[in-house]
Amino acid sequence: MRLAIISDIHGNLEAFRQVLKDISWQNVDGCYFLGDAISYGPEPDGCVRLLQKENIPCILGNHELALIRPEAKAYFNRTTRDHFAQTEALLSEHSRKFISTWPVARQEHDMLLVHGCPPDSVTTYLFELDEHGLFQVLRDMNTRTAFVGHTHELRMIQSNGQDLLQQDMSEGTYPLSADKALINVGSVGQPRDGDNRAKYVLWDPVKRWVEVRCVPYDIAQTAQKILDLGFPRFYADRLW
């Protein structure tokens, strides 16, 4: 069995399309989305509609949470709060209703899917936890493996019940060696790991290995659309 796991598309429809094309060549048995289809990028509605068209199970990211629970906008910095109104204006009622059906977590194939941090935090970043906190998270997981997004960076954290093993990931295949593992799958639409290609992972829950896939796309096209909409230039520049 092979599963594709994607996260943090952030309105980057061009990157999302190229990732779906790459997934179509990988002979996968399913695909899951870990949240944040919207904000920063120029085509949030197109991304949400494509997720629905492809029948990809989705969970809430912190940006979708702010859409359905306005009080959650207080979590953002002022620039993001101001930009969020621009994102909302681009979303159809159809997409809003679809987003409102997304849960905060899913558990399937002995894996937990959550945007921020197990068991069900949409907003907690892994880097906010020290080693003790991470060890507790893995210890308390009722699945052997969990997948998260949110940081836009690739990272694998494992525990055998005594030691904590942490490593950054890049393109390639990684066998899991410990009893419990927590994997950050990076970002499709706005990577922040020094490699501007769109990222996602393939997961084999039987053989217990994860493969990081890096997919090139037309960054200039997406960046120009961001500028044409009058979004903060930072959101275009950050793609590079």
Q: What is the CATH number of the domain that holds 94?
A: 3.60.21.10
Please tell me the predicted confidence (pLDDT) of residue 223. Answer: 98
3-state helix, strand, coil in the chain (%, to 5): 35, 25, 40
Please tell me the predicted confidence (pLDDT) of residue 78. Answer: 87
Please tell me the predicted confidence (pLDDT) of residue 209. Answer: 96
Please tell me the predicted confidence (pLDDT) of residue 137. Answer: 96
Q: Where are the alpha helices (DSSP H) in the chain?
A: 13-24, 44-53, 62-68, 78-89, 93-99, 131-140, 219-228, 233-237
Contacts of residue 88, defined as CB under 8 A and 6 or more positions apart, other chains included, come to 67
* Six token digits for residue 138: 């893995």
Residues paired with 213 in a beta bridge: 200
Q: What is the pTM of this model?
A: 0.96
Please tell me the predicted confidence (pLDDT) of residue 89. Answer: 96
CA–CA dist 31, 23 (Å, integer): 9
Please tell me the predicted confidence (pLDDT) of residue 77. Answer: 87
Total number of domains in the chain = 1
Domain of 177, in residue numbers: 3-237
Per-residue pLDDT of the chain (240 residues; tens, 9 = 90+): 999 999 999 999 999 999 999 999 999 999 999 999 999 999 999 999 999 999 999 999 999 999 999 888 888 888 898 899 999 999 999 999 999 999 999 999 899 999 999 999 999 999 999 999 999 999 999 999 999 999 999 999 999 888 899 999 999 999 999 999 999 999 999 999 999 999 999 999 999 999 999 999 999 999 999 999 999 999 999 999
Contact at 8 Å (CB) between 207 and 184?
Answer: no
